[in-house]
Amino acid sequence: MTNDWARARLHVVTGKGGTGKTTVASAIALALASAPAHVLLTEVEGRQGISQTFDVPPLGTDETRIVRLSGGGEVVGLSIDPKAALLEYLQMFYKLGRAGRLLEKFGAIDFATTIAPGVRDVLLIGKIYEANRRRRDGKHKGDAPPVYDGIVLDAPPTGRIGRFLSVNSEVADLARVGPIASQASSITRLLQSDQTVVHVVTLLEEMPVQETLESIDELRDKGLHPGAVIVNMVREPLLDDVALDQAREGRLHKASIRTQLTEAGVSATPELVDGLLEEARDHAERIDLEREQLALLEATGLPIVQLPALPAGVDSGSVRELADLLVPLFLSQRADAEVEA
């Protein structure tokens, strides 16, 4: 593990759909909170994945505590809605409180957040930017400690993450001056600073790994900082390396398999034995593929974290188990930052 992102306060989590991105983001938030720390966990896709993961009521546009740890840390949840963010933005910069509500009534807010996706992303990330700046004395600048020790963003998937985080270029053609352009520039400075890292969640399968490699290259090209590659849903081999070699080459001993089945009280029919041998060969080939994909990920030079598959499914308890596995990585980074400071 390196301390290249030891100073990070904003942890962006992306990954191909189906890799368990929300589960991992939730586990990272719990790992950071165990310091103990005050952590904000946010989502921007409107799927209510966080509330489902922690089995709490659906999150709204207000920051709501969803977990309090025995050591004093806590996780606060927030589901950022572009419509609410735009109304808040109009009030903040243009004092359009009542007029903004009229715009919503006539559908202008929906139109604005749909027709200009770059502006939509600025509004979404702008809420996170504001939470990152907020201090405990109510100000956005000064020596007071920040409200949140860390922020975790359950971000859009790898196919959209580069565009989502490129807020400056996305709004350049829409607003070259004014509050939106100014905020986009400020957000970009945060995203490209050492305060922000982007973790990529993947599986040891060809398509997720390919998207992971492409997204890492894209992030680097855009001046953003990849953090860790988190390999999710890892299953340990059912056979040792010797048995895997034998299975791959069709050299597993049939007589021994029949004997073991019989001793276990199972009728060792030829069809059953042949079926087991076929499954063993498929398993060996699957392990070979996973090891090839892992080697490709290791070639990125980023820290690799492997999380086990959860046979009983995802719930708040199993997410805490994953968080325990992430603690050594994320808290060691915080310790490195404190030592350097």
Q: Is the pLDDT of residue 247 over 90?
A: yes
Segments making up each domain of the chain, as ranges = 10-235+309-340, 238-300
5 CB burial (10 A radius; 0-12, 13-18, 19+): buried
Closest CA to 24 of 199, 150, 277, 268: 199
Q: Residue 311: is the preceding peptide bond cis (ω within 30°)?
A: no
* 125-171: pLDDT as tens digits: 888 988 999 998 877 777 889 999 999 999 999 999 998 998 766 66
pTM: 0.87
DSSP letter at 178 equals S
Range with the poorest average pLDDT among 139-143, 180-184, 225-229, 239-243: 180-184
149 CB burial (10 A radius; 0-12, 13-18, 19+): middle
> Residue 92: what pLDDT?
55
Domain 10-235+309-340, what fold? Answer: Rossmann fold (3.40.50)
